[in-house]
C-alpha cells in the first residue's frame, strides 16, 4: 500500500539535528553518542538523502565559522567590483596573505558539494574534522609563518526560485492534425521518470523549481582559480607561493598554468597535488609546462604502498608518490606531514639552487615523451 512521503523540512542547525562535534572533532548524536545514521527512516531513500544534504549544508556553514573564528581568516567577497545586486562568492585569507614577504600557501579542494575549508564532506560527517577539512593545513601553515588563501572553486552560482509562468492552453485544438496531437502527447523521458517516482507515494513531496545565476568570472573551478590568481595571489608580496590542490583542484591548477604560465613559474615555488585528476594531454599542457611540473610538483596518489613510495606514472608530468592510503578522499590528510616537508625542502632548494629531495628521488621514475 502506498504511503505518504514525509515533508522535506529539516532543521537548519546542528542542535536541531541533535548532533554536535565532540572534543576529538567527531560528529556525534547529543543524546545517544552514536555517529551519524544515514538510513534514519527505512524505505525512504530520497528522504534520507535530502536529510543528509540538509546536514551537509549546516556542516558547510559550520566550517566557514571555524575558518573565521578558529583560524582567524577573513572572508573576502568576489568579484571584487561586484554590484549590490549581482551574484557573489567569497574566499578566505589570513591577515597577512597579501603582505607576507616570505611564504603564501594556497588551498584548492576538489569538485562536488565541498566548499572552502573542506576536503571531503563524507569524512567530516563520518570520521572527523581533521581528516575532512583543511583546518590542520591552515593552522600548521600559520604556525610555520605562511600567509594563507583558501579558494572556493565550487561556489559558481546562486540558486533562486523559478518564477511561475502561467501558460494559457488553446481551447481550440480539435482542428489540429492527429499526427501533431500525437507528437504533443509524447511524454519526455525525464518527465516520465519524475512521474514514476511520484507514483510510489500517495502524497509525494514536491520540490521547488530553481534556476542558477552564475557568478561573474567565477562560473567554474577553472575560472575561479584564474580570477583569484589575478586579483589576489599575483598581487601578493610573497617570494614563495605554494599550492595544495586535491583531485579536481589539480586540474584547475594545471589550467591556471596554461592560462598564466610565465606568472606562475615566476611566483610559485612548489605544488603538492593529492590524487589529482589533471591530465596534461587532455588539457593540452605544453612541453615547458610539463617540464616545470616535473621539477616543482609532486602528486600524492591513492595507493596501498607506504607513504612517499614512488608510484609509476603513464603521464610525463609530475612525480607520483603514495599518499599511504588507497582511499581517494583521505589522500590530503594522510600526506599532510610529507607535504610540509616537501615545501620546506623546495624552499631551501630554491635558496641554495638544489632540487628538493622528493623530486630528486622521483627522477628515478622514467617518463617517456610520447
* pLDDT digit string, tens, across residues 58-89: 999 999 999 999 999 999 999 999 999 999 99
Of 157 and 167, which is predicted with more confidence?
A: 157
For the chain, what is the domain count? 1
Cβ-defined contacts of 253-257 (< 8 Å, 24+): 253/108, 253/225, 253/278, 254/278, 254/280, 254/283, 254/285, 254/289, 254/293, 255/222, 255/225, 255/226, 255/283, 256/222, 256/225, 256/226, 256/229, 257/285, 257/289, 257/292, 257/293
Domain for residue 12, yes or no?
A: no
DSSP 174: T
- Closest by Cα among 106, 52, 335 to 240: 106
**Domain coverage including residue 105:** 73-158+215-362
For 98-119, the pLDDT digits (tens) are 999 999 999 999 999 999 999 9
Q: Could you check whether the bond before residue 85 is cis, i.e. omega within 30 degrees of 0? A: no
Is residue 206 one of the residues assigned to a domain? no
In contact, 357 and 363? CB cutoff 8 Å:
no
Separation of alpha carbons 158 and 77, rounded Å: 14
Q: Which three cell numbers stand for residue 89?
A: 562568492
Write the DSSP string, 213-234: EEPTT-SSHHHHHHHHHHHTGG
**More confident: 39 or 304:** 304
User: What confidence score (pLDDT) does residue 39 get?
Assistant: 74
Of residues 192 and 43, more confidence is placed in 43
Q: Binning pLDDT at 50, 70 and 90, where does residue 47 land?
A: confident
Catalytic residue among 247, 303, 335, 338: 247
Residue 164 lies in a domain: no
Angle at 223 between CA 218 and CA 228, to 5 degrees: 75
**Which CATH number do you get for residue 125?**
3.40.50.1820
User: Does 207 have pLDDT greater than 90?
Assistant: no
pLDDT at 202 over 90: no
Lowest mean pLDDT, pick from 1-10, 51-60, 234-243, 263-272: 1-10
Nearest-angstrom CA–CA distance, 95 and 104:
12
- Mean pLDDT rounded to a whole number for the chain: 87
Residue closest to 275 by CA, chosen among 250, 309, 292? 250
pLDDT of residue 150: 99
Instruction: Give the residue-averaged pLDDT of 243-262.
Output: 98
Q: How large is the angle between the packed helices 45-69 and 135-143, nearest 10 degrees?
A: 10
> What percentage of the chain reaches a pLDDT higher than 90?
71
**Hunting for cell 597535488 — which residue is that?**
273
Q: Is the pLDDT of residue 190 over 90?
A: no
Tell me whether residue 85 is one of the annotated catalytic residues.
Answer: no
Residue 370 in any domain: the answer is no
Judged by average pLDDT, the poorest of 40-49, 167-176, 343-352 is 167-176
Does position 15 have pLDDT exceeding 70, yes or no?
yes
Position 187 in a domain: no
Task: Report the predicted TM-score, pTM, of the whole model to 2 decimal places.
Answer: 0.84
For the record, the C-alpha cell of 115 comes out as: 566548499
Q: Is the residue at 36 inside a domain?
A: no
Predicted local distance difference test score (pLDDT) of residue 354:
44
Find the mean pLDDT for residues 38-64: 88
312-329 residue pLDDT tens: 988 778 999 999 999 999
Residue 315: exposed, middle, or buried by beta-carbon count in 10 A (0-12, 13-18, 19+)? middle
d(CA 15, CA 21): 11
| pLDDT for residue 370 is more than 70 | no
63 found inside a domain: no
Check if the beta carbon of residue 273 is closer than 8 Å to that of residue 298: yes
Residue 325 in domain: yes
Amino acid at each position: 500500500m502506498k504511503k505518504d512521503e514525509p515533508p522535506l523540512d529539516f532543521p537548519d542547525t546542528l542542535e536541531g539535528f541533535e548532533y554536535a562535534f565532540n572534543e576529538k572533532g567527531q560528529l556525534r548524536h547529543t543524546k545517544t553518542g552514536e555517529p551519524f545514521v544515514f538510513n534514519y527512516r527505512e524505505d525512504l531513500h530520497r528522504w534520507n538523502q535530502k536529510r543528509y544534504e540538509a546536514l551537509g549544508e549546516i556542516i558547510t556553514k559550520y566550517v566557514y565559522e571555524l575558518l573565521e573564528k578558529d583560524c582567524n581568516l577573513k572572508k573576502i567577497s568576489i568579484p571584487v567590483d561586484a554590484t549590490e545586486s549581482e551574484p557573489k562568492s567569497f574566499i578566505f585569507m589570513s591577515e597577512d596573505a597579501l603582505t607576507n614577504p616570505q611564504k603564501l600557501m594556497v588551498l584548492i579542494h576538489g569538485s562536488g558539494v565541498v566548499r572552502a575549508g573542506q576536503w571531503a564532506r563524507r569524512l567530516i560527517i563520518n570520521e572527523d574534522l581533521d581528516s575532512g577539512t583543511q583546518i590542520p593545513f591552515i593552522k600548521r601553515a600559520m604556525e610555520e609563518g605562511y600567509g594563507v588563501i583558501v579558494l572556493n572553486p565550487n561556489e559558481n552560482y546562486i540558486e533562486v526560485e523559478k518564477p511561475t509562468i502561467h501558460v494559457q492552453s488553446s481551447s481550440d485544438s480539435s482542428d489540429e492534425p492527429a499526427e501533431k496531437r500525437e507528437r504533443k502527447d509524447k511524454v519526455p523521458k525525464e518527465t516520465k521518470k519524475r512521474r514514476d517516482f511520484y507514483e510510489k507515494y500517495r502524497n509525494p513531496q514536491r520540490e521547488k523549481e530553481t534556476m542558477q545565476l552564475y557568478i561573474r568570472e567565477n562560473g567554474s573551478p577553472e575560472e575561479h582559480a584564474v580570477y583569484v590568481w589575478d586579483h589576489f595571489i599575483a598581487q601578493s608580496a610573497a617570494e614563495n607561493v605554494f599550492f595544495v590542490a586535491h583531485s579536481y583542484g589539480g586540474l584547475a591548477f594545471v589550467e591556471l598554468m596554461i592560462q598564466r604560465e610565465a606568472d606562475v613559474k615566476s611566483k610559485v615555488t612548489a605544488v603538492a597535488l593529492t590524487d589529482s585528476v589533471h591530465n596534461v594531454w587532455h588539457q593540452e599542457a605544453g612541453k615547458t609546462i610539463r617540464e616545470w611540473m616535473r621539477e616543482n610538483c609532486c602528486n600524492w596518489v591513492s595507493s596501498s604502498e607506504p607513504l612517499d613510495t614512488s608510484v609509476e606514472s603513464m603521464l610525463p608530468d609530475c612525480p607520483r608518490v603514495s599518499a599511504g592510503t588507497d582511499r581517494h578522499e583521505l589522500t590530503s590528510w594522510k600526506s599532510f606531514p610529507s607535504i610540509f616537508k616537501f615545501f620546506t625542502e623546495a624552499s631551501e632548494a630554491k635558496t641554495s639552487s638544489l632540487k628538493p629531495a622528493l623530486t630528486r628521488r622521483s627522477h628515478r621514475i622514467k617518463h617517456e615523451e610520447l
